[in-house]
Amino acid sequence: MSAMEDHPLSYSRLGDCARNVESVITRLMADKLAYPEMLSLAAGFTDNRVLPESLVQAALESLSITENRSHLQYGMNRGRPGLRRCVIDLLKSYPGEHDLDLDEENIVITNGSQQGLYILVQMLCDPGDIVLVESPSYFVFLELLEGLGVRAVSIPCNEDGTIDHSGMAALVSSLESSGELESVKLVYLMGAFANPSTRCISESDKLGLCDLLRGLERKIPVVEDMAYRELYFDEPYPARTLLAIEEWRNHPVIYSGTFTKPFATGLKVGFIVSRNRDCLTTLAKIKGHQDFGSAHLNQAIIENVYSSGEYHKHLQAIRPHYREKRDILEAALLENGFKDAGWEWDQPLGGLLLWARGPEGTNTRIGSPFHKRCVEKEILYVPGDLCFAEGSPENCVRLSFGALEKELIPEAAKRFCEAALQTG
């Protein structure tokens, strides 16, 4: 008797959608397993070397004194009140946002920020509905949409990553005339150090978008994914969040964030912030059905670290580390003639990624000669086409300097450039 059977089941519509999504991560991991010497510029992981081991341990010790073991017990579905107050403190720590009028009722703690995004799409979008996303956008979010049968449509963006407002107005008109505007249920933005482009959205772009959305008959909710916001190198990106901008008042705005992306991804503590009561109530109900509350231990650890002041200190300490890794990657790309060969990129000011655009005619898709050469040279990257709702352009790559040890970055960049710049 074998341990596996291959009898097909009868799936729901959602089950069928999800089955048909090709997971990029799975594909990349298969490559990695087939080539053990593979160096990865693909994984969006953080650097093990700067993970806060002693802080987590100290937090657990401190909890053993203060918590009467309740950190090992179920918690509230919406999350620990104290941790929700830490969310507010974090949001208020940014310049120009000290006055944010939020309280713990505006927060739901989620199982990583991904769960918050997933529930938002579940609760707002039926299969066939549309979510507007930037171009490029976060490929895991695009997969999430596909898995729920929801269509992604790109917000037109300029070469420099800013929003193309006249293009956006034209898109809305065209959706209106095709009758599809009523299917647009959500706008997904990454406000700071976006994955993959590390682009940030300026206040003027935020205002421009607000003008457009305010003119529509129905208020389309906007979610601002700020997963990378805390991972700036020198200073926070100066634009305020939608939550803090007066013009966005009275528009359904959702802020999505995470404590653990910049701190310790293995803990998975995210949060959703909104002023829309009904939105949070519905989100919390669905969360109740999915897990009736995120793991309480992880919340208690983060709350303890945050409240002690060590959270901010730790981030302050790791910023130069990632900035240095960015510098090493950029220097190695230059040294290996990447720019001379016509590739360009904007220097990342935060995050873990570098988004590069190749000269005309470049094709980095999975299965392309470019991709094959990289696999042969045992180097992984994320093909840029995966980050676009429409699957094009195809001349971009996402390179990550997050996980790879800094000593290996030059070799990885060398292999990558050799493969990239070779022709045929």
Q: Which of residues 136-155 bind a second copy (CB under 8 A)?
A: 140, 143-144, 147-148
Q: Tell me the torsion sign for CA atoms 190, 195, 197, 199.
A: positive
Residue 106 engages a second copy in binding (rule: CB under 8 A): yes
CB atoms near residue 263 (< 10 Å): 27
Q: Which of 28, 32, 42, 71 binds a second copy (CB under 8 A)?
A: 71
Q: Which is nearer to a second copy, 138 or 232 (CB)?
A: 138
Number of residues located near a second copy, criterion CB under 8 A: 95
Residue 93 engages a second copy in binding (rule: CB under 8 A): no
Residues paired with residue 256 on neighbouring β-strands, in sequence order: 225, 272
Residue 277 engages a second copy in binding (rule: CB under 8 A): yes
Cα–Cα dist 405/424, whole Å: 31
Cα–Cα dist 245/243, whole Å: 6
Contact 281, 106 (CB under 8 A): no
Residue 45 engages a second copy in binding (rule: CB under 8 A): yes
Which region among 228-236, 247-255, 306-314, 358-366 touches a second copy (by CB under 8 A)? 247-255
Structure-token match 């104290």, residue found: 82
C-alpha closest to that of 322 among 352, 354, 345: 352
Q: Which of 90, 209, 267, 374 binds a second copy (CB under 8 A)?
A: 267
Q: Which is nearer to a second copy, 117 or 399 (CB)?
A: 117
The single-letter code of the amino acid at 307 is S
Structure-token match 């390179």, residue found: 399
Which region among 203-211, 293-301, 305-313, 357-365 touches a second copy (by CB under 8 A)? 293-301
Per-residue b or e along 362-380, where b marks 16 or more CB atoms closer than 10 Å to that residue's CB: bebbbeeebbebbbebbbb
C-alpha closest to that of 363 among 353, 354, 374: 374
Region 299-318 residues binding a second copy, contact defined as CB under 8 A: 300
CB of 244 to a second copy, least distance (A): 12
Residue 207 engages a second copy in binding (rule: CB under 8 A): no
The single-letter code of the amino acid at 108 is V
Q: Which of 30, 34, 93, 126 binds a second copy (CB under 8 A)?
A: 126
Region 329-388 residues binding a second copy, contact defined as CB under 8 A: none
Q: Which of 294, 304, 336, 400 binds a second copy (CB under 8 A)?
A: 294
Q: Which is nearer to a second copy, 18 or 169 (CB)?
A: 18
Q: Which of 31, 52, 257, 374 binds a second copy (CB under 8 A)?
A: 52
Structure-token match 């034209």, residue found: 170
* 3-class SS letters over 195-231: CCCCCCCCHHHHHHHHHHHHCCCCCCCEEEECCCCCC
Which region among 62-70, 311-319, 347-355, 387-395 touches a second copy (by CB under 8 A)? 62-70
Residue 5 engages a second copy in binding (rule: CB under 8 A): yes
Q: Which of 33, 36, 37, 69 binds a second copy (CB under 8 A)?
A: 69
Q: Which is nearer to a second copy, 154 or 276 (CB)?
A: 276
Residue 310: alpha-carbon gap to chain centroid: 24
Residue 405 engages a second copy in binding (rule: CB under 8 A): no
Structure-token match 């109530």, residue found: 281
Q: Which of 114, 135, 198, 304 binds a second copy (CB under 8 A)?
A: 114
Length, in residues, of the chain: 424
Which region among 119-127, 170-178, 228-236, 308-316 touches a second copy (by CB under 8 A)? 119-127
Q: Which of 278, 340, 360, 407 binds a second copy (CB under 8 A)?
A: 278
CB of 277 to a second copy, least distance (A): 5
Q: Which of 34, 66, 74, 238 binds a second copy (CB under 8 A)?
A: 74
SS3 of residue 201 by DSSP: coil
Q: Tell me the torsion sign for CA atoms 280, 286, 287, 288.
A: positive
C-alpha closest to that of 330 among 391, 253, 416, 248: 416
Cα–Cα dist 241/91, whole Å: 9
